[in-house]
Structure 1
Amino acid sequence: MNKWKVGFFLLAGLVAAGISAVIVLVSSSNESVPFPEMNALNMTDNVLTVNATKENLEGIANTYIRKAMKGEPIPVTMKVDDEVLLFSEMTMFSLTFPVIMHFDPFVHDDGNLILKLSKMEIGKLNILPSAILKVLKDSVKLPTWMSVRPKEEEIFINLSEIPVSGNLQVRAKTFNLAEDEIILEIIIPNE
């Protein structure tokens, strides 16, 4: 057998092994991440209600994401329109693909946000959303207040853990993007 045939089969085997490794990595265990517990509201605490617009929320969210991800190689940006969009990128085999994730936001019982994945765009690729969320969870160091839950196809945003000055806490009361009605509560502990 000549050396070119051996080289070809060796290269084909390496490519097949690489693709198999990526498939195994992406499709491995999708264990569910539990919701973090929020501190209970003390009845003597003061609550400041804030009405925000989509633009306000987008600016604030991107500021906190940038601060929390300083120095990370993969950018994550949020856009708030009639849905919440997360923009990022994925590199596979030296090719970079734009990733756009579309989420429908819901207010959890404890005042935190759940971003339920509704649609995903990765160039022209058709990949399971739970697999992409698993790759996002495993490869991007997201802020501690963002929990990726691949099995549920959602991202949990623990508003109470966002570092606001002092010991203030934030929670969502209303999150209606269609009506541009976003009501947040700032909890000021009564010390």
Structure 2
Amino acid sequence: MNRWKLSFFALAGLIVAAVAYLIFLIGSPASSEPLPDAKVLDGSDYVLEVEATKEDFEGIANTYIKKAMKGEPLPVKMEVGKDVTLFSEMTVFSYTLPVIMHFDPIVREDGNLILKQSSMEVGQLNIPPSTVLKILRDSVKLPPWMIVRPKEEELFIDLSKIAISDDLQVRAKTFNLEENEIILEIIIPKE
């Protein structure tokens, strides 16, 4: 066998190995970081309830995502309608694919939100949701209060870490999209 054939088969083997490794990385099980412990109010702080519409919450969420990115391009855009929808983009082999993820919101007892993935679209590709969330977590810089949990197919929104001001904290009380009822609580500490 001459050296050109040998070089060709070595290069072809290297390409096949690289593609197989990429498929292995994408398809490997995703690990998720644990959720922070639930913080329950002790009743000594002042609580101000604010009722918001879907449009209000959408605007507030996108404003704080933009603020957390500090001038960098926005990795995701949130829309609130029948469900919570996140729009993003994913680049695969120099092709940019639109990523649309639909979530059902769940309010935890500590007032933080869990967005449980209900469906997703990645261009025309059929990719498991946990894989898309893993790729999103690894390739898109999200604000520190958005925790992607691919194994559980959910996104955790830690409202307590959103910097409203030095003293104030926000938590969700009700998040009913069907009734367009979103009630947020603003916690003002007693001094």
Q: Which TM-score applies when normalising by structure 1?
A: 0.90
Residues in 2 aligned to 1:74 and 1:9: alpha-carbon distance in whole angstroms: 43
**Counterpart mapping for 1:36-51 below 5 A:** 36-51=36-51
**Counterpart mapping for 1:14-163 below 5 A:** 14-72=14-72, 75-163=75-163
Gaps of 5+ in 1: none
Residues in 2 aligned to 1:10 and 1:121: alpha-carbon distance in whole angstroms: 37
Relative to structure 1, the CA distance from residue 124 to residue 14 in structure 2 (aligned partners, 3 Å threshold; closer, same or farther) is farther
Amino acid at match of 1:150: P
Residues in 1 aligned to 2:22 and 2:69: alpha-carbon distance in whole angstroms: 25
* Alignment size in residue pairs: 191
Residues in 2 aligned to 1:4 and 1:123: alpha-carbon distance in whole angstroms: 40
Note the alpha carbon deviations across 1:122-146, whole angstroms, 9 max, x for none.
Answer: 0000011001111111122211111
Q: Percent same amino acid among aligned pairs?
A: 65
Measured on the aligned residues, the alpha-carbon RMSD in Å equals: 2.1
Offset at residue 29 of structure 1 (A): 4.0
Relative to structure 1, the CA distance from residue 7 to residue 125 in structure 2 (aligned partners, 3 Å threshold; closer, same or farther) is farther
Amino acid at match of 2:168: L
Gaps of 5+ in 2: none
- Maintained 8 Å contact 1:74/1:140: no
- Maintained 8 Å contact 2:106/2:175: yes
Secondary structure at the counterpart of residue 131 of structure 2: helix
Q: Which TM-score applies when normalising by structure 2?
A: 0.90
- Maintained 8 Å contact 1:38/1:160: no
